[in-house]
Structure 1
Amino acid sequence: MSSSSSIHPCLWFDHQAPEAVEFYCSLFPESRITGKNEFTFQFELMGTHIQALNGGPMYQQTPACSYFVYCGEQASIEELYQELKKGRQVIFPLDSYPWSSRYAWVTDRFGTNWQLDIDPIRSPQKIVPCLLFVNDKRTRVKEAIEFYFDVFSNSRSLMEAPLPDSEDLLFAQIKLDQFILNLMSSPESHDYDFTPANSLVITCPSQAEIDYFWEKLGEGGQFQRCGWLKDRFGVSWQIVPADLGKILADPQNGKKSMEALLSMEKLLIEKLKNPF
């Protein structure tokens, strides 16, 4: 299907979204808040669109989804590392590694995982979500790529690194329409997996595109409420109208539209716009 939709990541916080977004926008260059309401914040970090959700304690972020920051010359990797590592966990300290001359992986005080890389990226998207396939999923990276390529017609592989002694991949970077996504596998056992606290949002200009992505991404997975689903790998997606914010902010119908949204699984644009 030819798509005019767009993708961006969403971070779930336990009522800390305002504080987290202010912190990120003060730390990362070329960053700003672009919109907010009682529940969500829209913001840009280094020009990359991200959403924050004031979701409550139901879900917590895990290292199964992290965010690569390709610093290049645009951001000080040392400054980002020193500030982001405060108050939580350093998974890889800032150092030289076989895959990068300067790299670090930290979990910040809000629970968000960042992989900082001194390397640049030849794209306006400087921050790239990374899905880590662990435990019984660790040999499913190639399968996941094939699945996503089938869903998103305008897709291609940008980089692949094989998993030693396996036909699968250790690392891959792909492009889904115009959105770059990293995928990794871990040979070690972990006590975490994908969680709705890290999701990918697809904004769709038409009901036909909502219907398409809902059915294709949800096949073999789990359909949930309010436009959310888990795909067959457990990755959470939100399939929403492109003008959802405008619909819910309408002074006349916004409250009823929200009530309608909360009663739906797949979102229906016409019922959101005319909830009475």
Structure 2
Amino acid sequence: MKNNIYPCIWFDKDGKDAAQFYIDTFGDGNITTDTQMVVTFELSGQKFLALNGGPEIKPNPAVSFMAVLEDKDELESIWNKLSDGGKVLMPLDKYEWSEKYGWVQDKFGVSWQLYFGEVNDDVHGQKFIPTYMFTQEYNGKAEEALNFYVKLFKNSKLDGVMKHQEGDMKGLVMHGQCVLDDYVIAAMDGGNGHDFHFSWGNSMYIECETQEEIDHFWNAFAAGGEESQCGWVRDKFGAWWQVIPKQLVVWMTDPELAPKVSAAFYKMKKIDIETLKKATE
């Protein structure tokens, strides 16, 4: 599964340990890049980036990964591994939306929703779905955010929105789903009772081929949001993105080029490809 969009998870210095834990837990995975700062790995063909950023930032349940599993025994086995040393957020049980479902924060702080369902029918063949919970001042913004993202990315569509029908959350999103450049993400409104919100702990990484692409995404996210260093930008709904040239990984893993490219890269907010190219000369 080749996508230009994939999740980045912030770890202390144990990104490789976490990657190997997820490969052992879910199976069908491998580590594809292993550097001191960045570890990339795949689960069922989907790419993840583990960033060894330090102890200041931690992932939290504002972004979780819904794993769609078609075998109940496999789901229970995975649940036991993820919950060992972690924290159960919703018990593994039968719910109105699934015969078997549970939500857990693992020992690395990463949150997973395990859902018994059909991968092809429910989520277009994508086993792991980044799921955003809009809380605090962003509660009630889930549907607006999904529509914003769909307009921004090519090959995109809104894939359905279910809303609460009663109570304090009536009219707000229980579960919404969209496809962004053939990559599925989901969202929900989470109410005002949670003590967490979007952070650098979980971001989405966008690989861009051209400066035009970088400008397109950066300018859209930064409008009403917040620009930060090294291609990080927060959109007006609070979610964090990294808008990065595709060539960066190649440069940063080259022992000769990496120091020169890094020196230029760390001075930037929005990334300028030409400046990075000149640094390689």
TM-score range, shorter chain: over 0.9
Instruction: Give ranges in structure 2 of 5+ residues lacking alignment.
Output: none
Given candidates 247, 250, 274, the residue that maps to 1:270 is 274
- Structure 1's 221 and 250: CA in aligned 2 closer, same or farther, altered over 3 A? same
Q: Which residue of 2 aligns with 1:131?
A: 132
Q: Which residue of 1 aligns with 2:144?
A: 143
Aligned-partner Cα distance in 1 for 2:73–2:45: 12
Where do residues 191-230 of structure 1 align in structure 2 (5 Å cutoff)? Answer: 191-230=195-234
Where do residues 95-110 of structure 1 align in structure 2 (5 Å cutoff)? Answer: 95-110=93-108
Q: TM-score, normalised by structure 1?
A: 0.94
- Residue by residue over 1:159-216, the C-alpha shift from the partner in whole angstroms, topping out at 9 and shown as x without a partner, is 2111335444221011011110010112351111001110000001111111111111
Between 1:226-235 and 1:137-146, the stretch displaced more is: 137-146
Q: CA deviation at 1:120?
A: 2.1
- Residue by residue over 1:119-171, the C-alpha shift from the partner in whole angstroms, topping out at 9 and shown as x without a partner, is 12213421010000112322111211221122114221222111335444221
Q: Which residue of 2 aligns with 1:235?
A: 239
Determine whether 1:190 maps to 2:194.
Answer: yes
- C-alpha contact (below 8 Å) 1:48/1:124 kept by paired residues: no
Cα RMSD (Å) of the superposition? 1.7
Aligned-partner Cα distance in 2 for 1:249–1:89: 36
The one-letter code matched in structure 1 to 2:94 is: S
- C-alpha contact (below 8 Å) 1:226/1:267 kept by paired residues: yes
Q: Structure 1 segments of 4 or more deviating over 6 A?
A: none
The one-letter code matched in structure 2 to 1:160 is: V
- C-alpha contact (below 8 Å) 1:5/1:205 kept by paired residues: no
The one-letter code matched in structure 2 to 1:149 is: V
Given candidates 61, 65, 68, the residue that maps to 1:67 is 65
Q: Which residue of 2 aligns with 1:12?
A: 10
Aligned-partner Cα distance in 2 for 1:89–1:74: 21
- C-alpha contact (below 8 Å) 1:201/1:238 kept by paired residues: yes
Aligned residues: 273
Q: TM-score, normalised by structure 2?
A: 0.92
The one-letter code matched in structure 2 to 1:126 is: K
Matched-pair identity in %: 34
Aligned-partner Cα distance in 2 for 1:98–1:187: 20
- C-alpha contact (below 8 Å) 1:156/1:176 kept by paired residues: yes
- C-alpha contact (below 8 Å) 2:138/2:238 kept by paired residues: no
